[in-house]
């Protein structure tokens, strides 16, 4: 057993039962202290822990302290790899376990190394080189296909044979808490008239999960579904914003461009794949049978409860969706195997997103496009207004957690406010 996953472990840190950051979690992130120093850290309950201080005090051994002074996790991940990050997480868990006095009874070190979340600024934890967005929720693909084609031809012929995806823009991936401006571009409101330029009118969120990779194999070699987990570091909450009206006009023939490259929002804490192992579940049966390179063994889906909330400026929040990552048709191992089957190389810090995650029932859809059914079923807000898509001043927040037998491993939240177009 991975020590940090021990369900019997209890921390000397006071942790509420509904906290995302139990001792069985031990996520990784990057933060800035009030004095401007940037540090690699972890989170336990309501405390952000400066790992540089723990290494400097000799409580974490085997990794040079300079790797914990970086503005991204990439250098640490690159030098340690999967096994090294696993052992680092185990060692951190040991320090936080209730019977370990090394940090617990060192008041001076705790004052230097432990902070309340409001005392630090969370940064984007990864320097993302390449970003791939998949389209792997069958219900989402079916819903969109019904809207724009018909229920009998909702899924395109390739959908159940390959994990469909496209390469997106990594430079505009931002950390939770950073505002975005409404994007602008060409739209064609009237099919009988020329396009017009202006702010997007159909701004949407997409409820997604992303996974972060270690370095892969050299160019020309493939990663199999059996090997894939060893190349995946962890997962994050991800809001892949979408300008639906811009996308409708531009996506033929090469797919989304301005509709998707203006912003994607990412939670600051990466939850390791190791921490999520206890929450593995079987996925839905895949029919027709997939090609040999996409076959896999074992439970590869993960039971992660997801929630989307919208809050108008100065208003009350409203829950728009309760979904679950277990709804994915294509799992991460299949996505990574397909991504590399042609010899494409992956690098440390690459981001791969799931695509919009929708359940089978209304109330579990992962985008406003589906929730409002292309604007025909407006959502009633507590203040009496309606939402067909996202308005200026709205803040969209996504949360997620896995729980089993009283153990909770959560992702925190990704939250973004929409400002008017510039």
CATH number of 3-123: 2.30.30.230
Tell me the CA distances in angstroms from 255 to 133, 145, 198, 262, one per residue in order.
12, 15, 20, 15
Instruction: Report the catalytic residues.
Output: 140
pLDDT at site 260: 97
Q: What confidence category does residue 55 fall into, taking pLDDT thresholds of 50, 70 and 90?
A: very high
Of all residues in the chain, the percent with pLDDT exceeding 70 is 100
Could you give the CA distance from residue 384 to residue 33 in angstroms, rounded to a whole number? 41
Q: Which residues contact 270 (CB under 8 A, 6 or more apart)?
A: 27, 28, 29, 73, 125, 126, 212, 233, 234, 235, 236
Among residues 268, 311, 300, 231, which one has the least CA distance to residue 410? 268
Backbone angles phi, psi at 54, to 5 degrees: -70, -40
Burial class (CB in 10 A: 0-12, 13-18, 19+), 6: middle
Q: Which residues contact 361 (CB under 8 A, 6 or more apart)?
A: none
Q: Is residue 280 helix, strand or coil?
A: strand
Among residues 383, 382, 381, 361, which one has the least CA distance to residue 371? 361
Sign of CA dihedral 213, 215, 220, 224: negative
Could you give the CA distance from residue 101 to residue 149 in angstroms, rounded to a whole number? 63
- CATH 3.90.850.10 in the chain is located at 131-419
Query: 22-33 pLDDT, tens per residue?
Result: 999 999 999 999
Q: What confidence category does residue 150 fall into, taking pLDDT thresholds of 50, 70 and 90?
A: confident
The answer on pLDDT for 383 being more than 90 is yes
The answer on pLDDT for 125 being more than 90 is yes
- CATH 2.30.30.230 in the chain is located at 3-123
- The whole-number average pLDDT for the span 396-417 is 98
pLDDT at site 1: 72
> pLDDT averaged over the chain?
97
Could you give the CA distance from residue 369 to residue 361 in angstroms, rounded to a whole number? 15
**Per CATH, the architecture of 131-419 is what?**
Alpha-Beta Complex (3.90)
Query: 228-256 pLDDT, tens per residue?
Result: 999 999 999 999 999 999 999 999 999 99
């Amino acid at each position: 057993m991975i020590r940090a996953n021990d369900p019997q472990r209890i921390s000397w840190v006071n942790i509420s039962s509904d906290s995302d950051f139990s001792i069985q979690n031990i996520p990784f992130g990057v933060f800035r202290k009030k004095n401007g120093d940037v540090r690699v850290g972890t989170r336990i309950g309501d405390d952000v822990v400066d790992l540089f201080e723990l290494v400097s005090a000799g409580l974490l051994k085997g990794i040079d302290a300079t790797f914990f002074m970086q503005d991204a996790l990439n250098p640490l991940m690159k030098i340690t790899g999967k096994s090294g990050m696993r052992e680092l997480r185990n060692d951190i868990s040991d320090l936080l376990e209730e019977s370990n006095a090394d940090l617990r009874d060192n008041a001076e070190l705790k004052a230097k190394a432990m902070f309340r979340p409001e005392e630090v600024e969370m940064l984007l934890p990864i320097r993302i080189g390449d970003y791939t967005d998949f389209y792997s929720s069958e219900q989402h693909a079916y819903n969109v296909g019904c809207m724009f084609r018909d229920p009998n031809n909702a899924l395109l012929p390739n959908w159940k044979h390959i994990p469909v995806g496209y390469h997106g823009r990594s430079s505009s991936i931002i950390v939770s808490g950073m505002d975005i401006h409404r994007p602008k571009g060409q739209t064609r409101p009237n099919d009988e008239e020329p396009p017009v330029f202006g702010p997007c009118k159909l701004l949407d969120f997409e409820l997604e999960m992303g996974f972060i990779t270690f370095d892969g194999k050299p160019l020309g070699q493939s990663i199999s579904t059996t090997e894939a987990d060893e190349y995946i570091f962890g997962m994050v909450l991800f809001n892949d914003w979408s300008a639906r009206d811009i996308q409708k006009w531009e996506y033929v023939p090469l797919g989304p461009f301005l509709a998707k490259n203006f912003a994607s929002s990412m939670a600051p804490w990466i939850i390791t794949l190791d921490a999520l192992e206890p929450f593995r579940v079987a996925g839905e049966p895949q029919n027709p049978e997939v090609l040999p390179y996409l076959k896999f063994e074992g439970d590869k889906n993960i039971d992660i409860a997801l929630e989307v909330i919208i809050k108008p400026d100065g208003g009350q929040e409203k829950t728009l969706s309760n979904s679950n990552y277990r709804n994915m048709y294509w799992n991460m191992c299949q996505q990574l195997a397909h991504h590399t089957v042609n010899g494409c190389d992956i690098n440390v810090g690459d981001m791969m997103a799931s695509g919009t995650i929708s359940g089978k029932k209304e109330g579990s859809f992962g985008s406003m496009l589906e929730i409002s059914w292309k604007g025909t079923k407006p959502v009633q807000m507590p203040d009496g207004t309606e939402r067909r898509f996202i308005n200026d001043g709205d803040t969209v927040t996504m949360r997620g957690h896995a729980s089993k037998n009283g153990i909770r491993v959560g992702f925190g939240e990704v939250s973004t406010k929409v400002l008017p177009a510039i």
